[in-house]
Structure 1
């Protein structure tokens, strides 16, 4: 179980690092725009991300 969790975390970190590695200026602009969003918008994006991940887990498992 722990190995699977750490593997998933490692894959997530690799995927998260691809965009800033390949396109640093675009990533910086996107990050600046994200900091200007309201808290409710950020929470909604987090909720949608979590729901998408849960749905993907149910489909895969």
Structure 2
């Protein structure tokens, strides 16, 4: 798969949330800003791990 397609897909999904669910997205973003650094790092770690697993299972 072309990396540009992958990047485009990520940007498409990321852009749909504020476009379609503006108020909910804003509230969620405000809650994220209140989390501690360790909590944000854990969320990032889980996201990276999940992404790697999805890519590995679809190879």
Same fold (TM > 0.5):
yes
> 2:42 maps to what in 1?
44
Structure 1 runs, 4 residues or longer, greater than 3 Å off: none
Structure 1 regions of 5+ residues with no counterpart? none
| CA-based RMSD | 1.0
Normalised TM-score (structure 1): 0.92
Count of matched residue positions in the alignment of Structure 1 and Structure 2: 59
Alignment partners' CA distance in 2, 1:27 and 1:56? 25
Q: Unmatched 5+ residue regions in structure 2?
A: none
- Separation of aligned partners in 2, 1:6 and 1:35: 30
TM-score with structure 2 length normalisation?
A: 0.95
